[in-house]
Structure 1
Amino acid sequence: MQTIHRKTIRESLTLKGIGLHSGKTVTLRMHPAEAGTGLVFFLYRNGSKVRIPISLDHVVDTSNATTLGDGGSNRVQTIEHMLAALYTQGITDCILEIDAVEVPIMDGSSRPFWEGIQGTGIQTLSETVEPIRISHPMWVVDGDKYLVILPSDELKVTYHIDFNHPLLKGQSYTTVLDDSILATDILPARTFGFLKDVEALQARGLALGGSLDNAVVLTEDGYLNESLRYENECVRHKILDLIGDLAVMGRPFYGHLIASKAGHALDISLAKCIMSKVTGDELTSFKSKRIPLFAKKEASQ
């Protein structure tokens, strides 16, 4: 079985942009970190510095994006595009300094994050990380929406979307998700939304930074954008979101993901289901290795 080493970026990196929902200017700085640090945000607000680890325990909202919090009023939202890029390049340890409550949307995809990491370089650390391997099917369901993961020796996905739009009814995509395919076929896919929903979202203080520069916008029967990066760009972006959300688990993972009309809430629910089972199995395995020792002791009494 291939050994997977922890990785960090080789040099610091700065990315600037606006928040998709907040519309505010954001500066994100990524810094190398020691093995075992994990992925950690440091939010700078009102002269204070708040630490928010990227972990399932810190996910506080999944309504319009995946949002982390510190248990109080401090939050960082829309983390999934950045995480998909970090996951694709195997980055397990990185300090992320941010001066606003939302990761910059950049061009609406993960590509700018991936390119930035490529530019600064990647450092392989001596420590290893144990991947998550699915031993039996797991799933989460919400009405007619579902997300399943099946055992597989590789990471692959079958994703189905079915929006009330002539171009997005019954759109499906199946692919293996190795690092190369993720980088070329998934990470460049942009986020998307419907023109008819923009006013309602903005009335709620959302999508204030959205534009044709960072999103695919659908009209009643077509696209407002002049062109798409892929014919099925929208379903590919849903896969991007799924990988970014599952990356919150903090470990590489293998399995066949099967999704139908899923989203951030189901993504995080499946991640919690996986980690609950995986950590339980690992604890049981750890204890079982010590059973003969206890059995021997009891026999000698």
Structure 2
Amino acid sequence: MKETIYRRSIQDTVRIKGIGLHSGKEVNLIAHPAPSGTGIVFEYRKGQERASIPAELSNVVDTSNATTLGDGLHRIQTVEHLLAAVYALGLTDLILEIDAVEVPIMDGSSLPFLQALESAGIVEYPEIVEPIYIQNPLWVVDGDKYLVLLPSNELKVTYTIDFNHPLLKGQNITISLDREKIKQEILPARTFGFLKDVEALQARGLAMGGSLDNAIVLTQDGYLNQQLRFENECVRHKILDLFGDISIAGRPIIGHYLASKAGHALDISMAKLVMSSVTGDEISKYKSRRIPLFKRKAAVV
């Protein structure tokens, strides 16, 4: 039986403070309640500068290392961890005031955002959100990377990562999810990176806020961190990113996600493909190569 989903906001304003992953500088984020129909909107406030950037697919301007929203003049980077928490709580209407160009990294997961937003209380509105249930297969492909979305009455993810590292070679998971399971099984998973890459980035003045306090760091053959939250925490974090990215579609997209070596670019391309199918608009081809088993265009409701 399909669940009825209502629009939601938070009851009280909540303040979140952290540091930017790249700048290493303090970031202040304030989440405000918003009326039904507002959507999720980032409000940039720095000195005399002001910008309002709705979390919408048309405002995604970069997916190279994280998901970035922009309005042509201003950008807000690394929105996916915060948006994954927003998604898990079913929040549809929220003003996110921020005084920096990147969302704070916190502990590298979505857990601090989840805890802060939950502490503000949840308000449910009478207006209904129509989820999208996939009726026929959809997919996007980039070389040996792909993201497929299959029909399913439940939210399910099968995800594989495959890095040239003994601990991340073919790490995979298949998991059925609802809001509570996302909170418990996905949102605590931290971002990860390789020590050699972190050192190279910091030499260029980037990733200045990166540390063992906010990331899983891998050496040549192991982890620098003393303890993981899950045995397969890295692949779980990729699912966290997926939900944060897909949430930008503005409606829950229910189906079975099959991902291999995917990332922000494929996540956003899938969200655009789904919404294009809903509205009947055309979408540019992402890559010419196809997975022969499936048809590309498909109807969704």
- TM above 0.5, one fold? yes
- Give deviations 1:50-103, integer Å, cap 9, x for gaps: 10110000000001100000122x100100000000100100000000000000
Deviation of 1:199 (Å)? 2.3
In the aligned structure 2, how far is the partner of 1:206 from the partner of 1:132?
Answer: 38
Q: Do residues 45 (structure 1) and 46 (structure 2) align? A: yes
Amino acid paired to 1:92: T
Find the counterpart in structure 1 of residue 58 from structure 2. Answer: 57
In the aligned structure 1, how far is the partner of 2:102 from the partner of 2:49?
Answer: 17
What TM-score results when the alignment is normalised by the length of structure 2? 0.91
Find the counterpart in structure 2 of residue 178 from structure 1. Answer: 178
Whose radius of gyration is greater, 1 or 2? 1
Find the counterpart in structure 1 of residue 72 from structure 2. Answer: 71
User: How many residues of Structure 1 are paired with residues of Structure 2 in the alignment?
Assistant: 280
Deviation of 1:193 (Å)? 0.2
In the aligned structure 1, how far is the partner of 2:93 from the partner of 2:280?
Answer: 24
Find the counterpart in structure 1 of residue 295 from structure 2. Answer: none
Deviation of 1:201 (Å)? 1.9
Find the counterpart in structure 1 of residue 273 from structure 2. Answer: 273
Find the counterpart in structure 1 of residue 117 from structure 2. Answer: 117
Amino acid paired to 1:63: S
Deviation of 1:205 (Å)? 3.8
Find the counterpart in structure 2 of residue 31 from structure 1. Answer: 32
In the aligned structure 1, how far is the partner of 2:249 from the partner of 2:261?
Answer: 22
What TM-score results when the alignment is normalised by the length of structure 1? 0.91
- Give deviations 1:165-210, integer Å, cap 9, x for gaps: 0000011101012111101110000000000111222244431110
CA distance 1:203–1:61, shift in 2 (3 Å): farther
Q: Helix, strand or coil: the match of 1:224?
A: coil
Find the counterpart in structure 2 of residue 214 from structure 1. Answer: 214
In the aligned structure 2, how far is the partner of 1:204 from the partner of 1:253?
Answer: 38
Find the counterpart in structure 2 of residue 95 from structure 1. Answer: 95
Q: Do residues 257 (structure 1) and 257 (structure 2) align? A: yes
In the aligned structure 1, how far is the partner of 2:157 from the partner of 2:47?
Answer: 42
In the aligned structure 2, how far is the partner of 1:140 from the partner of 1:18?
Answer: 34
Amino acid paired to 1:39: I
In the aligned structure 1, how far is the partner of 2:20 from the partner of 2:196?
Answer: 21
Find the counterpart in structure 1 of residue 292 from structure 2. Answer: none
Q: Helix, strand or coil: the match of 1:165?
A: coil
- Give deviations 1:233-268, integer Å, cap 9, x for gaps: 000000100110001111112000000000111111
In the aligned structure 2, how far is the partner of 1:100 from the partner of 1:244?
Answer: 19
More helix by share: 1
Q: Helix, strand or coil: the match of 1:116?
A: helix
CA distance 1:267–1:204, shift in 2 (3 Å): farther
- Give deviations 1:89-142, integer Å, cap 9, x for gaps: 100000000000000111100001111111111000111111111111110101
In the aligned structure 1, how far is the partner of 2:93 from the partner of 2:225?
Answer: 37
Instruction: Give the stretch that moved more between structures: 203-212 or 93-102.
Output: 203-212
**Percent of paired sites with the same residue:** 67
Deviation of 1:2 (Å)? 3.0
- Give deviations 1:25-50, integer Å, cap 9, x for gaps: 10000000000000001001241211
Q: Helix, strand or coil: the match of 2:135?
A: coil
In the aligned structure 2, how far is the partner of 1:247 from the partner of 1:201?
Answer: 29
Match runs of 1:137-176 below 5 Å: 137-176=137-176
Deviation of 1:154 (Å)? 1.0
Q: Do residues 3 (structure 1) and 4 (structure 2) align? A: yes
Match runs of 1:189-268 below 5 Å: 189-268=189-268
Q: Helix, strand or coil: the match of 2:280?
A: helix
Q: Helix, strand or coil: the match of 1:108?
A: coil
Amino acid paired to 1:33: A
In the aligned structure 1, how far is the partner of 2:164 from the partner of 2:200?
Answer: 17
Instruction: Give the stretch that moved more between structures: 221-230 or 203-212.
Output: 203-212
In the aligned structure 1, how far is the partner of 2:154 from the partner of 2:3?
Answer: 12
Q: Which runs of 5+ in 2 are unaligned?
A: 282-301
In the aligned structure 2, how far is the partner of 1:127 from the partner of 1:266?
Answer: 31
Find the counterpart in structure 1 of residue 286 from structure 2. Answer: none
Find the counterpart in structure 2 of residue 134 from structure 1. Answer: 134
CA distance 1:233–1:221, shift in 2 (3 Å): same
